[in-house]
Structure 1
Amino acid sequence: MTVRILLVDDETLVRAGLALLLDGADNGAMTVVGQAADGAGALSMVGALQPDVVLLDIRMPGMSGIEVLRELSRRPETPAVLMLTAFDTTEDVRAALASGARGFLRKTESPAGLVSAVRSAADGHTALSDGIVARLLPGLPDGRAAVARELLSDREDTIAALVAQGRTNEQISRELHLALPTVKTYLSRIMDKLDASNRVQVAVTYLGRD
């Protein structure tokens, strides 16, 4: 499947570099369908171009990347959004993930890491640059990790561990010999118990429980 990518960054050179890296990457399975220099342009292009993945700069003049992400999350169909930034403050990371970002990458990410992250996002995985999960762990609400340990059943614990390792529902289904709807039901229960709104939050909570 060809992955359609929209690049959103206020810096022309950054967009040009990303386009050079991603257009035709993954053995020709990726294509850059558009580039936007600001939030308004991004929202318009998402509607017109229907990309699978949006690489979205978090800090732009006018409408920030977080504001763009929140607006996209209100739409019936939202592409996978990877926040790409040079400023990976914990506050920014938390705001992005809480608003539905599929991942958060530094602009210092290697070319191979960037391509891998885009493919992961397109396939339903989450993607975080090295060190970002570790930075999130100290900010978990007091006792949250310990509560997570007590709340999850053995099967839920196993599935949460696989989610934390980046497995998709389909991979978990095959590995545990469970029907896909069953995996989805377990994941829904896990998210409810951990008060998580997405897979990244499940992973962060699970990884910080010990």
Structure 2
Amino acid sequence: MNAQLRIALADDQAIVRAGLRALLERQGISVALEAQDGAELLDLLDATPVDVVLSDVRMPGVDGIEALRRLRERGDATPVLLLTTFDDSELLLRATEAGAQGFLLKDAAPEDLREAIARVARGETLLQPVSTGPVRARYQYHAADAPRERFSEREVAILRLLAGGYSNKEIARAMFLAEGTVKNYVSAILEKLETRDRTRAVLKAITLRVI
């Protein structure tokens, strides 16, 4: 973990913020600012740039997803990792649409949270496995949107790992492939699904029942 990594912490409960701050600082992560809601978070970020924003989803007033949406609207691309106590696929979809890089449940193990912060800071996307029903209900595609080519078993396996937020390097290690080979597979998957990025590819693949 990079000792210089600086994060913004937003949660409406002071005791939760204190606990997270203590946990993160023990792991070498600097908490540059704390906010009790999304509005305060946005104000503080104006003056204090950070590497990652770690925010609760459900807060009174401006919640985490609305704060994220406003952050993106003003051109701020700081990676955002959203935390929630609710295993709710609808929240994950809203967070993804708003531009979140990561989404984790609050009961995640400390080492998982630390790794998630490091990964989104590196520009990766981290989405926990999500129930497929709400995804299909939200994203309806017509027959014309179906992939022009069928997916191989290996491509389906890689798509499932992408859905779990794994990086190319981690997929390569799990499937005993070269990282360059995985990169080529991912490019082919994006082309077949006619999507620009991994997150949209996963959502469309779920909708089309590829995974």
- Which of the five TM-score ranges fits, normalised by the shorter chain? 0.7 to 0.9
The size of the alignment, in residue pairs, is: 198
Residue 139 of structure 1 is matched in structure 2 by: 137
In the alignment, which of 1, 4, 7 is matched to residue 5 of structure 1? 7
Residue 72 of structure 2 is matched in structure 1 by: 73
1:98 equivalent in alignment to 2:102: no
Contact 2:193-2:204 at 8 Å conserved across structures: no
Secondary structure of 2:194 counterpart: helix
Cα deviation 1:162-190 (Å, max 9, x = unaligned)? 75562259x99x72279x9x999x59x64
> Partners in 2 of 1:153 and 1:40 — Cα distance?
44
> Partners in 2 of 1:65 and 1:20 — Cα distance?
21
Question: CA 1:145 to 1:110, structure 2 compared with 1: closer, same or farther past 3 Å?
Answer: farther
**Structure 2 matches for 1:51-70, cutoff 5 A?**
51-70=50-69
Question: CA 1:190 to 1:142, structure 2 compared with 1: closer, same or farther past 3 Å?
Answer: same
* Letter paired with 1:150: R
> Partners in 1 of 2:32 and 2:47 — Cα distance?
10
* Letter paired with 2:194: K
**Structure 2 matches for 1:35-50, cutoff 5 A?**
35-50=34-49
Q: TM-score, normalised by structure 2?
A: 0.74
Offset at residue 118 of structure 1 (A)? 0.8
**Structure 2 matches for 1:1-210, cutoff 5 A?**
1=2, 2-25=4-27, 28=28, 30-129=29-128, 131-132=129-130, 134=132, 137-139=135-137, 141-142=139-140, 147=145, 149-150=147-148, 161=159, 163-164=162-163, 166-167=166-167, 175-176=179-180, 186=187, 190=191, 193-194=194-195, 198-206=197-205, 208-210=209-211
Contact 2:147-2:192 at 8 Å conserved across structures: no
Secondary structure of 1:150 counterpart: coil
Residue 175 of structure 2 is matched in structure 1 by: none
Question: CA 1:21 to 1:135, structure 2 compared with 1: closer, same or farther past 3 Å?
Answer: farther
Offset at residue 76 of structure 1 (A)? 2.7
Cα deviation 1:20-39 (Å, max 9, x = unaligned)? 111241xx3x2111110011
* Letter paired with 2:12: D
Contact 2:102-2:125 at 8 Å conserved across structures: yes
Identity across matched positions, percent: 33
Secondary structure of 1:34 counterpart: strand
Structure 2's unaligned 5+ residue stretches are 173-177
> Partners in 2 of 1:137 and 1:121 — Cα distance?
23
Question: CA 1:150 to 1:191, structure 2 compared with 1: closer, same or farther past 3 Å?
Answer: closer
Question: CA 1:191 to 1:111, structure 2 compared with 1: closer, same or farther past 3 Å?
Answer: farther
Structure 1's unaligned 5+ residue stretches are none
